[in-house]
Amino acid sequence: MNKFHVPILIILMFMLSGCVLSLLNSYEEPEQAKFVGEILDKASKKLRSKYDMRPIGTGIGMPDGVVTMLALSFEKTGPLSREEGRKIIVDCVQEILQIINTHEKIRPYLKNYPFSAKDVEVRIFLEDKFRNDIFDPNYGVISSINASIDYKYTSAENPNKYMKVEKEKFEEALKMVQDKNKK
């Protein structure tokens, strides 16, 4: 390379990097992404204070800008009885659905309106007071995914694999919680 090529290469590098940076700066977040953020933020704050849980994750299904699924994950101190866990997970799903379905600006972007328990995912990972995992005979994870509530159990010998999963349909769990509240 002669001494004329080096300055030309340096100038080209600056010009190309400027083009790339201008492309990055021109990205605009879709309107529905802003609404989804508002919904998940409101729901996580409400559920955090209501059930003394720590929000640890969110999830969004939004292919081609259509909102198909929203998810929240939490950590909570346990163990919890089956009834306690059922009441909390059912209420979490109901609270999220209420927030989504009353948010008028998101409606045009929802695949299904009203959103239902099939469209929302909630996971609660339980820990003891020292923040250690909880093992069988207690469940360590309770989740509501695709309108099915799962109670997931692990053993201390193999904590990374569920040794058993017990399931309930969301509608059945909702009815049990409602019946219990009537008493």
- Domain positions in the chain are 29-182
Three-state DSSP at 60 gives: strand
| pLDDT in the model for residue 104 | 96
How many C-beta neighbours within 10 Å does residue 6 have? 10
User: Is residue 18 scored above 80 in pLDDT?
Assistant: no
Show the CA angle centred on residue 179, arms to residues 173 and 180, nearest 5°.
90
| pLDDT in the model for residue 23 | 54
Whole-number Å distance between alpha carbons of 109 and 165? 34
Residue ranges in 26-146 assigned as alpha helix (H): 31-51, 82-101
Integer angstrom CA distances of residue 113 from 71, 158, 165, 166, 174: 17, 41, 31, 30, 20
* pLDDT class of 180 with cuts at 50, 70, 90: confident
Using an 8 Å Cβ cutoff, are 180 and 165 in contact?
no
Q: Percentage of residues in the chain with pLDDT exceeding 90?
A: 79
Beta-bridge partners for 60? 70
Of 123, 120, 74, 121, whose CA–CA distance to 101 is shortest?
A: 120
Whole-number Å distance between alpha carbons of 84 and 78? 10
Q: For the ranges 14-23, 26-35, 153-162, 165-174, which has the lowest average pLDDT?
A: 14-23
Comparing 25 with 67, which gets the higher pLDDT?
67
Whole-number Å distance between alpha carbons of 10 and 43? 50
* pLDDT class of 86 with cuts at 50, 70, 90: very high
pLDDT mean over 127-150: 96
| pLDDT in the model for residue 2 | 57
pLDDT mean over 82-88: 98
User: Is residue 24 scored above 60 in pLDDT?
Assistant: no
Task: Round the average pLDDT of the chain to a whole number and report it.
Answer: 90
